[in-house]
Structure 1
Amino acid sequence: MLPEKSQGKVWRATLVAVGSGSRGKGGEIPPVGVKFGDQVLLPEYRGKKVVLHDKDCFLFRDGDIPGKYAD
């Protein structure tokens, strides 16, 4: 457990798209840990902001997503 002061803000988001992942050192593509529609936790200071169809969206790497909500 971390003290409240040291914790950053965490966002809850629904994934609207998921890519295939990036290649590893051996050229293989490891499976992605999330899928379309998952509810996930996102850190406040990560990701790349993009605008699609006049909506703010954020791009995150699989490793930047600290967790997902269980059904």
Structure 2
Amino acid sequence: MSIRPLDDRLVVRRVEAETTTKGGIVIPDKSAEKPSQGEVVAVGEGAVLENGERRKLEVKVGDRVLFAKYAGNEVKLDGESLLIMRESDVLAIIEDTPAEEEAA
């Protein structure tokens, strides 16, 4: 089954939560917070402006995004838990930087 969000909404799949800290401490499932990062799996056509034109979304399918802790609405589709949220709920797009730039 596929899903197509409307207007300026997008569908996000949460990334798996870290189960250990950087120091190697294992975090129990009950104590772990829901991750606030996800991968965009579908986007709408964009917000409708007052003049009737559509403003395209900056977020695209495949982007990894950060969002607020309680952003969006959680839905289950084919047994998978997904979030449907507005583009304005996205705080940032995570961009990978090449290793060459990090060394400079």
TM-score range relative to shorter protein: 0.7 to 0.9
Match of 2:80 in 1: 55
Same amino acid, percent of matched pairs: 33
Flag the structure with higher strand content. 2
Match of 1:3 in 2: none
> Which sections of structure 2, spanning at least 5 residues, go unmatched?
1-33, 97-104
TM-score, with length taken from structure 1: 0.78
Asked if the contact 1:21/1:62 (under 8 Å) is kept, the reply is: no
Whether 2:75 is the aligned partner of 1:45: answer: no
Match of 2:58 in 1: 33
Displacement of 1:22 in angstroms is 2.3
Q: Is the radius of gyration larger for structure 1 or structure 2?
A: 2
**Secondary structure, in 3 states, of the residue corresponding to 2:54?**
coil
Instruction: Tell me, in whole angstroms, the C-alpha distance in 1 between the residues paired with 2:50 and 2:35.
Output: 31
Q: CA RMSD in A?
A: 1.6
Count of residue pairs the alignment pairs up: 63
TM-score, with length taken from structure 2: 0.55
> Which sections of structure 1, spanning at least 5 residues, go unmatched?
1-8
Deviant stretches of 4+, over 2 Å: none
